[in-house]
Structure 1
Amino acid sequence: MDKENARNTTIFLVCMVALLVFYEIFVIGPREKQRQAQQHAVAAQQQAVAAAAPGAATYVNRAQALAGSPRVQIDTPALQGSVALKGGRLDDLFLKGYRQGLAKDSPPVELFRPEGAKQAYFAESTWVGPALTPGPLTQWTLASGTVLSPGHPIGLTWSNGAGLDFARTIAVDDHYMFTVSDQVTNHGTAPIKLAPYASVQRQGEPELSKTNIIHEGAVGSLGGQLRLIAFKPWKKQGDTTFTSTGGWLGITDKYWLAAIVPDQTAQVKAQFRVDTVNGVNVYEADDVGAIRTLAPGATTTSNTRIFAGAKKVSVLANYEKTLGVPHFDDAVDWGHFWFLTRPIFWLLETIHGYVGNFGIAILLLTVVLRGLMFPFANKSYESMSKMKKLAPEIDIIKKRNDKDPAKVQQETMALYQREKINPLMGCLPVLVQIPIFFSLYKVLYVSLEMRHAPFFGWVQDLSARDPTSFVNLFGLLPFSPASVPMIGGILDGPLHIGVYPILYAATMWLSTAMSSQSITDPTQKMVSQLMPVMLLYFFASTPAGLVVYWVASNLFTVGQQYIIMRRFKVDNPIDSLIAKLRGARTPSAAAG
């Protein structure tokens, strides 16, 4: 029964893979295109309604929104943009080190956008209380500084005309952390109650990733726990409140983060809020500090940090260490297999530090991982080679007991026990590699370090799929698969199969052919041979870096299998092919 169970398990797994591939190609793909078409249609309708209906959202372009306020420029090694004196907000920000596309003239990634433009996104800090405090329409005065840059803060001032004078100092470091110091002085005759407040606000849903492997939405470390709420459930469940001493909270994309970091010794009421304003969903992460009573003549200060930038692991980890921001590198979505994704990422980045190319680092990582799995794989391939060698004896058992399957199974298992063979050992390498596969997929997909990381030749972004396609003979034909009428979406989608996925299928077929030498059941053998074809479509849409890993891993497997099969003097496809080629050449030579 053990053999039958193993066969049934293999068939079940292959059928599941086939169903997943079918679902990806014929259900998810068309549904995703339909969803995108619906989004474009809804956006167009919203714009038309905004132009005609009172109370609906209306927008201006980015340049017009910027012109709505005097500004102070931001210029750092990592950032460029401006601070709006109207509201004193950080609402105009680009990331210098990252571009939207691979082209050299591609514009830098935009993070913040001023209110009034569509998809506004900004961060601010202020005071809240019964008195008149600075708000979005407050016109601050530039009191010191001309350009906000590292070592050169700017100072803003504003008076409410009722005895309260406010001063704001904004500083920035070489990376992505702003420090905002808000000071208020009470020149009145009565005490005033105030509480510090800071927020990150995003108006409208961003363009989300097409896969659910990455978290995008609310994120933070509050009350000692990591808090994650994706955009869809955030919208559905509404406001969520936490009480925390210190911590941080914000809004995250796949690669970018905007977060507020309060004083780590202060108790705050943190909240993830969502409101609908003029038909637009407004997402906000904010915190309110403890209420302070400000006596006449007294001054109080609140310090808040605002992170606005790229989720580069080393930068986040440095802030966690130097500023005491708890679990800050958890802004990167390490996933449920964090105990594997973190070490794999560390090892990959360490190797990259020596070789300077993430593609080569992936190849060397393959060697390291396969080296760690070598003992398990060796046992497995030895078991399969021994089973192949016993195939003639198993055939004799089957013929002798052709009408008694139970007897066949009993005698076969007795033979295995006598020869010290465990037929289930063949599954061990696959089972060991499954969590590694998912962990490496996660690392390649979510880590910023992989974004736009080149390999060689046509692969210039290891985090994206192989850009070549067999449809246009890998670029030799002068057309794009997407341009083909009627079926362009399929040719550029599920059927977009590049060089590396084809190399994967070829090496997987060879590895499977060598493994299937030990399989005697015809159905199980056929299913195992079809596996590379089914997986070809899956790997066609995965990050190129992952396919590079699997091609190298398959080659490693083939080499290991070949050595073991030669050692046990078992026939294998490589030697059979070489023998055929030699046989084909011999008559020609004789004829000559």
Structure 2
Amino acid sequence: MEKNRNYFVAIALSVLIVLAWQFLYMNPRLEKQRLADEALKAQQATEQAANPAANGTTTPATTAQGALPGQTQAQATASREEALAKTPRLAIDTKSVSGSVNLTGARFDDLKLKAYRETVDPNSPIITLLNPADTHDGYFAEIGYIPDANAGTLPGPTTVWTAPEGAKLTETTPVTLTYTNEKGITFARTIAVDDRYMFTVTDKVTNGGADAVALSSYGRITRYNKPTTPSVYVLHEGFIGVFGDQGLNETKYSKVEETPVTLDKATGGWLGITDKYWAAAIIPPQTTAYDARFSHFTDGQPRYQADFKDDAVSLAAGQSVEVKNLIFAGAKEVPVIDRYEAEYSIPRFDRMIDWGWFYFITKPMFKMMDFFYRYFGNFGVAILITTIVVKALFFPLASKQYASMANMKKVQPKMEELKAKFGDDRMGLQKAMMELYKQEKINPVAGCWPILLQIPVFFALYKVIYITIEMRHAPFFGWIHDLSAPDPTTLFNLFGLLPYDVPHFLHLGVWPLIMGVTMFLQMRMNPTPPDPTQAMLFTWMPVIFTFMLASFPAGLVIYWAWNNTLSITQQSIIMKRHGVKIELFDNLKGVFRRKPAPSK
């Protein structure tokens, strides 16, 4: 029993360290960042009000603003509306996205996601993913060709493509853009989009000149700013890609700010930039070798860039060649990402979603949860049912755990006799106790396995709730309108009855309180540890967890409260079956019973 308690204490302390880091470091950091963002927006609004003509006098886009990978790019000064109005555009309109392709550079720099809004308010603006290079939040994808002496001017950032009059890009109407250079080389670029977020860019290049040329294509995802919300330890945001045999590469913004990351030449794969819920990536031709890199530029407009360059292809006079690239820009929906991986044979494209180290647990758990969601129509209910399934799977282990505890309790008198017999002879005592365990067929660490095995399951569920877009703005019942956000209520204004807001760190909602109560009851199912330090830890742990989990996603807190409730029921059944006394009511009486004063 003593060893089991030590294991539990060690596990609890480990979890407490993680939660303390979240509560004491990450939460203040997020709050500080939020206040800084609000101050920046207020400052920008003041500047615009003081100089209303500034946005109307911005110079047109220059060659520098559309620079090739690695070259200088001028500072962005225009508003989004002005930037969109400066260049000819091809409209995009599907059931999932809207926006336009900039015909200058055939650049994907205007994209909105119709199915997603900025907040749970149904009237809030829809998510804007890509923005023109002239804006402060520039974020775009581009495919072009590296200049060649014999080939003349090849398509790049400043190339003006020609689109058919009145053309619109939809899921049923691809559009072909054309460009012919001074050497007679013709480029016919056909852009198609499916019903979700995948664009297919197919270039048919015909050499109408007299000389052979060498063509090398490039692709890049360029972004000016990092996410305003600091990333947390369980989530990767930044550069990402899979490069042939090199496999998955996840590189943080901070690392690239120090030094560029150059990848070895690879064949097959993809690369881009990922956020928590959104991503933009280019999938180059899967049979052509390419060089790739992740970079950060500070020459002019600071920007982050993931780019690649194909090996050159020779094109004789009169010959044609076809180059096909894919561009993904949209929401990281699990079924959609999986479909793209299978349909286009994109290696490990599903790792665009950060399933984490426990990938083999996290993704199946999401699949199970998604199955229940599609049946019941509520992700909160899906979490509850998934918890029941997990508890059922662990029931045999839990039964062994409490059987071991029952056996340990039965041999407790014999262990006390051995302690009295061997005194300070620790080696002799340990050997005698091992013999006792062997005779009684007891495994002293058997009770720890269920706890150890459930830790990865817990973190896997945390990942599912935190990273998957399916949980974003997913309601439960009552006041929970977003399972991926903390419980919005707080005890310190009587859950909204008092007309004032409380500081972020004092948000202590209904569900965290329910979780704390269930955790307290679960810990009181067993005898109070005799060691005063352990007893104090077990007494205060539910209180500490209640405050720390108040800032966690509501879905996770609901899971933990429900899991505690099931554990209490399960433990009661198993302990009764093995003849072990349930200490809950005695312990509760002990908590509220006044201790007698010590006799003099």
Same fold (TM over 0.5): yes
Pairwise CA distance, 1:94: 0.6
Q: Match of 2:369, as an amino acid?
A: L
Indicate how the Cα distance of structure 1 residues 175 and 26 shifts in structure 2: closer, same or farther if over 3 A, else same: closer
Aligned 8 A contact 1:384 1:515 in 2:
no
Q: CA RMSD in A?
A: 3.4
Pairwise CA distance, 1:65: 1.0
TM-score by length of 2: 0.85
Indicate how the Cα distance of structure 1 residues 31 and 356 shifts in structure 2: closer, same or farther if over 3 A, else same: closer
**Percent sequence identity over matched residues?**
42
Aligned 8 A contact 2:92 2:101 in 1:
yes
Q: Match of 1:262, as an amino acid?
A: P
Pairwise CA distance, 1:342: 1.8
Q: Structure 2 matches for 1:231-270, cutoff 5 A?
A: 231-270=253-292
Q: Match of 1:126, as an amino acid?
A: G
Consecutive unaligned residues in structure 2, runs of 5 or more: 55-72, 591-600
Pairwise CA distance, 1:34: 4.3
- Deviation per CA, 1:463-514: give whole Å up to 9, x if none: 2222221111112222222xxxxxx2xxx13x32211111111111111111
Q: Which residue of 2 aligns with 1:561?
A: 571
- Asked if 1:109 corresponds to 2:131, the answer is no
Pairwise CA distance, 1:379: 1.6
- Corresponding residue SS for 2:254: helix
Q: Match of 2:570, as an amino acid?
A: Q
Aligned 8 A contact 2:4 2:447 in 1:
no
Give, in whole Å, the separation in 1 of the partners of 2:286 and 2:424: 74
Q: Which residue of 1 aligns with 2:93?
A: 75
- Asked if 1:348 corresponds to 2:369, the answer is yes
Indicate how the Cα distance of structure 1 residues 175 and 18 shifts in structure 2: closer, same or farther if over 3 A, else same: closer
Give, in whole Å, the separation in 2 of the partners of 1:144 and 1:56: 31
Q: Which residue of 2 aligns with 1:508?
A: 519
- Corresponding residue SS for 2:520: helix
Q: Which residue of 2 aligns with 1:463?
A: 484
Q: Which residue of 2 aligns with 1:424?
A: 445
Give, in whole Å, the separation in 2 of the partners of 1:256 and 1:89: 19
- Corresponding residue SS for 2:557: helix
Indicate how the Cα distance of structure 1 residues 262 and 438 shifts in structure 2: closer, same or farther if over 3 A, else same: same
Aligned 8 A contact 2:524 2:587 in 1:
no
Q: Structure 2 matches for 1:527-546, cutoff 5 A?
A: 527-546=537-556
Give, in whole Å, the separation in 1 of the partners of 2:75 and 2:227: 16
Pairwise CA distance, 1:445: 1.1
Pairwise CA distance, 1:139: 2.2
Q: Which residue of 1 aligns with 2:496?
A: 475
Give, in whole Å, the separation in 1 of the partners of 2:455 and 2:322: 53
- Corresponding residue SS for 1:458: coil
Q: Match of 2:241, as an amino acid?
A: G
- Asked if 1:90 corresponds to 2:108, the answer is yes
Q: Match of 1:547, as an amino acid?
A: V
Give, in whole Å, the separation in 1 of the partners of 2:268 and 2:326: 11
- Corresponding residue SS for 1:514: coil
Pairwise CA distance, 1:121: 0.7
* Number of equivalences: 564
Q: Match of 2:297, as an amino acid?
A: D
- Deviation per CA, 1:497-539: give whole Å up to 9, x if none: 211111111111111111235x444432332232222222332
Q: Which residue of 2 aligns with 1:121?
A: 139
Q: Match of 1:155, as an amino acid?
A: T
Give, in whole Å, the separation in 2 of the partners of 1:381 and 1:258: 50
Give, in whole Å, the separation in 1 of the partners of 2:38 and 2:587: 54
- Deviation per CA, 1:272-307: give whole Å up to 9, x if none: 2321132x4322222222212333333333221111
Indicate how the Cα distance of structure 1 residues 520 and 412 shifts in structure 2: closer, same or farther if over 3 A, else same: farther
Pairwise CA distance, 1:435: 0.9
Give, in whole Å, the separation in 2 of the partners of 1:45 and 1:535: 39
Give, in whole Å, the separation in 1 of the partners of 2:587 and 2:16: 29
Pairwise CA distance, 1:448: 1.6
Give, in whole Å, the separation in 2 of the partners of 1:536 and 1:579: 22
Consecutive unaligned residues in structure 1, runs of 5 or more: 482-487, 581-592
The partner residue of 1:496 within 503, 507, 528 is 507
Give, in whole Å, the separation in 1 of the partners of 2:317 and 2:419: 103
- Corresponding residue SS for 2:403: helix
Aligned 8 A contact 2:33 2:230 in 1:
no
Q: Which residue of 2 aligns with 1:365?
A: 386
- Deviation per CA, 1:312-363: give whole Å up to 9, x if none: 1211111111111111111111111111112212222222222222111111
Q: Which residue of 1 aligns with 2:153?
A: 132
Give, in whole Å, the separation in 2 of the partners of 1:389 and 1:236: 62
- Deviation per CA, 1:240-278: give whole Å up to 9, x if none: 133222221111111111111122222222232321132
Aligned 8 A contact 1:129 1:193 in 2:
no
Q: Which residue of 1 aligns with 2:403?
A: 382
The partner residue of 2:79 within 61, 75, 85 is 61
TM-score by length of 1: 0.86
Q: Which residue of 2 aligns with 1:590?
A: none
- Corresponding residue SS for 2:140: strand
Q: Match of 1:303, as an amino acid?
A: K
Q: Which residue of 2 aligns with 1:586?
A: none
Q: Match of 2:546, as an amino acid?
A: L
Q: Match of 2:270, as an amino acid?
A: W
Q: Match of 1:229, as an amino acid?
A: T
